[in-house]
Amino acid sequence: MPLMCLVRHGQASFGAEDYDALSDLGREQAGAVGAELARRGLRDPLLASGTLTRQRDTARLLAESAGFEKPSIEDPRWNEYDHIALMSRYPHPRPDGRADSRAVQEVLDRALGMWIEDTSETGPVGWPAFASGATAALGALSEALGKGRDAVVVTSGGVLAALCGSLLSLPPASVVALNRVVVNASVTTLVVGGSGTSLLTFNDHAHFAGDRRRLLTYR
């Protein structure tokens, strides 16, 4: 049965002018997860990504490290939601007025929960459209694989939370919790079988243990 390894992109550049660019650490994380995927012996892996710069660059660096063919599929349905627009739509003051990454994460958690539960937003910027787009991207890639071939997809934490939440039928609060803990350059593995797609592992980051623990980041 085909395996689909969904990789969260490497660390982006929080606080920089261009958030979408990988940080130096993010580039290192991309190489490390590539080495890990090479170790797993995937079968003729088809490499895909979203269209965001941090996703595309992670995919390229991952492929170079793993010895995979260059990414052959770019699909915007693997893209992350716009977190800045989301926090503007559902505003909350930052705890103690702080502007660090933890404070931003707390505001984002609240906004994400409100977005998921906002039944009035049925257009293209609503949660149903975002989640169904991720599911459709997964289905399209599954069909492209055929038998005896695996896939690697570089995406983002929100997409991973949406897909896992759907596969496990989780309530909104649990989807927010999943989104919060996704590690940069972690691997979530799905198996595609005759009865559908199943979650094997979520947020595997064992490749950042031991002397590589310094590479472990959530934001």
Cα pseudo-dihedral 15, 21, 26, 30, rounded to 10: 160
* CA distance linking residue 180 with residue 24, whole number of Å: 22
Reduced to 3 states (helix: H, G, I; strand: E, B; else coil), residue 153 is strand
* CA distance linking residue 24 with residue 15, whole number of Å: 14
Average the pLDDT over 14-38 and give the result.
91
Angle at 28 between CA 23 and CA 31, to 5 degrees: 130
The residue ranking higher by pLDDT, 216 or 13, is 216
Q: What's the mean per-residue pLDDT of the chain? A: 92
* pLDDT tens readout for residues 193-203: 878 899 999 99
Question: Residue 192 corresponds to which amino acid?
Answer: V
Among candidate residues 7, 5, 23, 115, the one with its CA nearest the CA of residue 59: 7
pLDDT value of residue 95? 64
pTM: 0.93
Give the largest Cα separation in the chain, rounded.
Answer: 54
β-strands 196-204, 187-193 pairing: antiparallel
Q: Token pair 């170079």 is at which residue?
A: 64
Question: Residue 7 corresponds to which amino acid?
Answer: V
Average the pLDDT over 65-91 and give the result.
92
pLDDT value of residue 147? 80
Cα–Cα separations (whole angstroms), residue 176 to 29, 99, 131: 24, 21, 13
97 pLDDT band, cuts 50/70/90, is low
Average the pLDDT over 155-161 and give the result.
98
* pLDDT tens readout for residues 103-150: 788 889 999 999 999 988 888 999 999 999 999 999 999 988 878 899
Q: How far is CA 157 from the centre of its chain?
A: 4
